[in-house]
Structure 1
Amino acid sequence: MRREAQLWLKASYEDLEDAKDALLRKRWFRAAFFAQQAVEKVFKALFFVIKREEPPKIHTITELYLSLKEQNFSLPTELEEKLYTLNKYYTVTRYPDAANGLPSEAIDREEAEKAVKIAETVINECEKTLKQQ
């Protein structure tokens, strides 16, 4: 695996750990944000492996995924649909205007736990492709 892909994958693992730590601290909005970041970074690792190029400097995980999908990478359909859920956490968890209030009040425990579970599952699926390289 290319060094760049390894770095993005390691960053993804770190964000997933931060998401889990945020759950323990009951910082639901932080858990959701780091879940989104973990998926964004594992997709960017895949760019080096699947597309053999640097990832675009975007944060929309559905756009990143669609670009990877053009190269015959795919997630199970039920997981693919959950990417749209994670997408919103890039802004809602950080900006009051996106959250229609305080970001810290925008996400509840159940939603945060789901976000972390989705991220963990996506990363596990992506690892299968990354580790073949």
Structure 2
Amino acid sequence: MSIFEKVFKGEETVANEITRKAAFRLGKLKENGLRRPLKMVLGAKTQAEEVFRRSYRPKDDPMRLLRDLEPEERSRLKDALMELRERQSQGEDNLIIRDFRVVRKRLQLKWPPFHTYSAVVRAMNGS
């Protein structure tokens, strides 16, 4: 299954209409076997916009789609990565980069399943 078929799940005709001018891996091969980023050059800007508009769909796949960064954005991201690594080495955890800034992850509340609430409500109502 191609990347575009994952993004356009159920719409294979749209996925097949996207033309790729080039596709290549970035960076050097690593000994630990991790995959390198894949850079794809698409046929038209409208095709790239369509891919990014629908890129929220692959939830079950560890695939991420990132657009090209301007040189200023690239330097801001590099600075944020250095700050993130420095703060993590000092023992801070739950940090992420959002909008080129290092911030703490929001606490995700784990609510009990809904059926436990309905059991409590029934018990309170006496049924």
- TM-score range relative to shorter protein: under 0.3
Greater gyration radius: 2
More helix by share: 1
Tell me: higher relative CO, structure 1 or 2? Use CA pairs within 8 A at least 6 residues apart: 1
Please, what TM-score do these two structures have when normalized by structure 1?
0.22
Name the structure with the higher strand share. Answer: 2
